[in-house]
Amino acid sequence: MALDRDISAAFRDYYSAKISEHGPTPPAVDWPRADIAAITYLKTLAVIRDRHRDTPVNLLDVGCGYGGLHTFAKKHGYHLNYTGIDIVPGMIHHARELNPEGDYVVGDALEYKFDRKFDYVVCVGILTQKLKSSSLDMDRYAAQLIRKMFDLADVGIAFDIMTNRVNFMVPESYHRSPIEILAFCLSELSNKVMIDHAYERYEFTTYVFRNDAIMKT
Ligand SMILES: C[S@@+](CC[C@H](N)C(=O)[O-])C[C@H]1O[C@@H](n2cnc3c(N)ncnc32)[C@H](O)[C@@H]1O
């Protein structure tokens, strides 16, 4: 059985090589093109229920890469107090250059001790890959990461996972049943859960809100 730390280390090594090879471009974070990443970024930002309030929304982006979601959010008029964490120093170096107003930290999101909470905590693209880990180890890792994200969120979280409702799975990708994820979130986190399994990708986005969150649309 691999430890969570081993899985994080495998991600760190894999994405360190990617950012060295590609620089701050979509292939460094396994997006074939920016317009494909944009579909998931938009789905992820849909977690924000109160984006038109007067004060900026506090958002933590777990596994932020070189800050692609941050750049996208600014371009589309989201008013964020943005924090990003990534385990790869090279990713954070580029993220800080591209979006100097963001608060970017290097660290393993599972272990990093944040001294504050956020309105929303999101994660794009960590729970879509398992690399060489076993499915069981990755299931445990995913559960830990989702719990940690929810602990840090005052309002809600969003994350994407590859769906198992496909005809073909790449062995390194991490595919889950949306029904299992729904059951996990309902039983461990909150009654306020939504799953968007209806867009043109082989993934789905899960949204979990605190039971006392006010669900403005
Ligand atoms: C597929 S990339 C996605 C990057 C970014 N979210 C995006 O979509 O543009 C996944 C990122 O998560 C980071 N990562 C993986 N495991 C992590 C962990 N445990 N803590 C922090 N970052 C992690 C990787 O270094 C990588 O930059």
Question: For residue range 148-177, what is the model confidence (pLDDT) as tens digits?
Answer: 999 999 999 999 999 999 999 999 999 999
Cα of 64 to ligand 1 centre, how many Å? 6
Calculate how far, in angstroms, residue 37's C-alpha sits from the geometric centre of ligand 1. Answer: 13
- State residue 216's pLDDT score: 59
Indicate the pTM of the whole model: 0.97
Sign of the alpha-carbon torsion through 182, 188, 191, 194: negative
Sign of CA dihedral 132, 136, 142, 144: negative
- Whole-angstrom distance, CA of residue 10 vs CA of residue 95: 21
Helix, strand, or coil here: 97?
helix
The predicted pLDDT at position 213 comes to 83
**Which pLDDT belongs to residue 15?**
98
Predicted pLDDT of residue 200: 83
Residue 3 has pLDDT above 90, yes or no: no
Please indicate whether residue 67, judged by its CB atom, sits closer than 6 Å to ligand 1: no
Q: Beta partners for 121?
A: 60, 157
Summarised one tens digit per residue, pLDDT across range 10-47 is 999 999 999 999 999 999 999 999 999 999 999 999 99
User: Is residue 1 scored above 70 in pLDDT?
Assistant: no
Please calculate the CA angle 127-134-123 and round it to the nearest 5 degrees.
10
State the DSSP H helix or E strand holding residue 94, giving kind and residue range, or none if neither.
helix 89-98
pLDDT of residue 171: 94
The rounded mean pLDDT for the chain is: 96
Mutate to test the pocket of ligand 1, among 36, 71, 86, 173 (most ligand atoms within 8 A of CB): 86
Mean pLDDT of 94-103: 98
- pLDDT > 90: what percent of the chain? 91
Residue matched to tokens 């890469």: 65
- Average of pLDDT values for 56-65? 97
